Amino acid sequence: MGDTVFVLVLNAGSSSLKFNLFDMGKEVSIAEGMAERIGLNDAILACTIDGDKRKETLALPTHREALEAILERLHAGVLHDTPVHAVGHRVVHGGPKYGDSVLVTDEVLHDIEAFAMYAPLHNPANALGIRVAKETFPDVPHVAVFDTAFHHNIPDHARTYGIPYELSQKYGIRRYGFHGTSHAFVAARTAILLCRPLRALKIITCHIGNGTSICAVDHGKSVDTSMGMTPLQGVIMGTRCGTIDPSVVEMLMEYEHLDYAAITDLLNKKSGLLGISGVSSDFREIELAAESGNDRARLARDLLTYNVRQFIGSYATVLDGVDAITFTAGIGTHSTYVRAKVCSKLGFLGVKLDPEANEHGTGERIISTPDSRVVVTVVPTNEELMIARETVR
């Protein structure tokens, strides 16, 4: 094993637990997988260990049993002679306090639970994952890596909402931003693709997946981003509404007789691409339906690309120019259509897409022409590796 460090990365959702085991000597993942439908008798556990893919249906009553089942499989495979030196945890919200990754102490865990006020769907699950993992691995360091951390220092004028200032201060109501590990990762990779230092570049990173956020990265630092206090704001997403007039919420609550839980559910789980198209939250299905003439699927598709373009235009102003635009996450990495459509009206910025490179390449690459004033890149994100790196750091 030599001096290498093995890091287990965990991402706990309300009914899921994703894991990834990294050999940080080589920065490679040696095992990965996910338990889904935790809490049910027919939960699903999918693992790829030693290159061997397996999917099982089993009862996983809680996250504890899920982690135990994962470790059992790891011990039977790679882990029989591989120690876990540290555990890195993805935590969605670091609240006003955490602008960097931290070693998990009782105080940190308490804070993560308290910040459920900003991320009620995510932080309680993240905290539960940490508790279970700390009991299982009591003697190794656990590190919390926050989605919000990269955006911690965006300027006041970019993060302040137009509500009474005292209330913003009292409750920490402001834009926090998310997908920070992804934006930081793809911005750094883009600088490498451009063979230029990150600290010399103005980059707009477009993370377009089930959740979508756009980020203005100025010389390596996030200076604005499209998500807000919660991951609901900004571009429309798979099932989230994105930015809407707050009065819509009041109106729907009154006329549809919705309480807080019902409106939260509607805006988070029944809106966005799914709500508009009535077809699916999955963009591949939206594309197919749009191509076969479904008007609502076309509308959903158009709204997504329009929103992304709006933010790129806005952030070109925020950055006072732009050197590179980067596409990442499921849709950004794979949808030729979305990239072409978004870039089709960015000629005024000096963007010239190379249709060949956009259509036919794979993986990390430049997809603009050599004479394009703005370099456009595709960079598959790797949030798990970023969390492992942060854990080692």
Q: Is residue 42 part of an annotated ligand binding site?
A: no
The single residue among 88, 94, 177, 211 that binds ligand ADP, judged by CB under 6 A, is 211
Q: Is residue 210 part of an annotated ligand binding site?
A: yes
Taking only Cα atoms into account, the Rg of the chain, rounded to an integer number of angstroms, comes to 21
| Nearest distance, CB of residue 382 and ligand ADP, angstroms | 11
C-alpha to C-alpha distance for 178 and 206, rounded to whole angstroms? 12
48 versus 210: smaller Cβ distance to ligand ADP: 210
- Is residue 238 near ligand ADP by the rule CB under 6 A? yes
- Is residue 89 near ligand ADP by the rule CB under 6 A? no
324 versus 331: smaller Cβ distance to ligand ADP: 331
Q: Is residue 153 part of an annotated ligand binding site?
A: no
The single residue among 205, 335, 377, 382 that binds ligand ADP, judged by CB under 6 A, is 335
Helices (H) and strands (E) in the chain, counts: 15, 14
DSSP notation for 74-103: HHHTGGGG----EEEEEES--TTT-SS-EE
7 versus 331: smaller Cβ distance to ligand ADP: 331
C-alpha to C-alpha distance for 82 and 23, rounded to whole angstroms? 9
Note every long-range contact of 346-350, with CB atoms under 8 Å and residues 24 or more positions apart, other chains counting: 346/309, 346/312, 346/313, 346/374, 349/312, 349/313, 349/316, 349/322, 349/373, 349/374, 350/374
| Nearest distance, CB of residue 182 and ligand ADP, angstroms | 9
| Nearest distance, CB of residue 310 and ligand ADP, angstroms | 20
Beta bridge partners of 32: 20, 48
Q: Is residue 211 part of an annotated ligand binding site?
A: yes
C-alpha to C-alpha distance for 122 and 118, rounded to whole angstroms? 9
* Among candidate residues 4, 51, 50, the one with its CA nearest the CA of residue 27: 4
Beta bridge partners of 217: 203, 222
Range in contact with ligand ADP (rule: CB under 6 A) among 152-160, 185-193, 209-217, 291-299: 209-217
The 303-332 contact track toward ligand ADP, x by CB under 6 A, reads --------------------------xxx-
Q: Is residue 361 part of an annotated ligand binding site?
A: no
SS3 (DSSP) at 309:
helix
Is-catalytic flag, 147?
yes
b/e 127-156 (16+ beta carbons within 10 angstroms → b):
bbbbbbbbebbeebebbbbbbbbbbbebee
- Is residue 13 near ligand ADP by the rule CB under 6 A? no
Return the residue nearest ligand ADP (CB atom).
330
- Backbone torsions φ then ψ of 137, nearest 5 degrees: -120, 75
Q: Is residue 382 part of an annotated ligand binding site?
A: no
| Nearest distance, CB of residue 328 and ligand ADP, angstroms | 8
Q: Is residue 41 part of an annotated ligand binding site?
A: no
- Is residue 14 near ligand ADP by the rule CB under 6 A? no
| Nearest distance, CB of residue 333 and ligand ADP, angstroms | 7
The single residue among 48, 210, 243, 264 that binds ligand ADP, judged by CB under 6 A, is 210
- Is residue 180 near ligand ADP by the rule CB under 6 A? no
Beta bridge partners of 365: 378
Task: Output DSSP code: residue 212.
Answer: E
| Nearest distance, CB of residue 301 and ligand ADP, angstroms | 10
| Residues carrying an active site annotation | 147
Binding site residues for substrate, as ranges? 90
Positions in the binding site for ligand ADP (CB under 6 A): 209-211, 238, 282-284, 329-331, 334-335
Binding site residues for ATP, as ranges? 18, 207-211, 282-284
Binding site residues for Mg(2+), as ranges? 11, 383
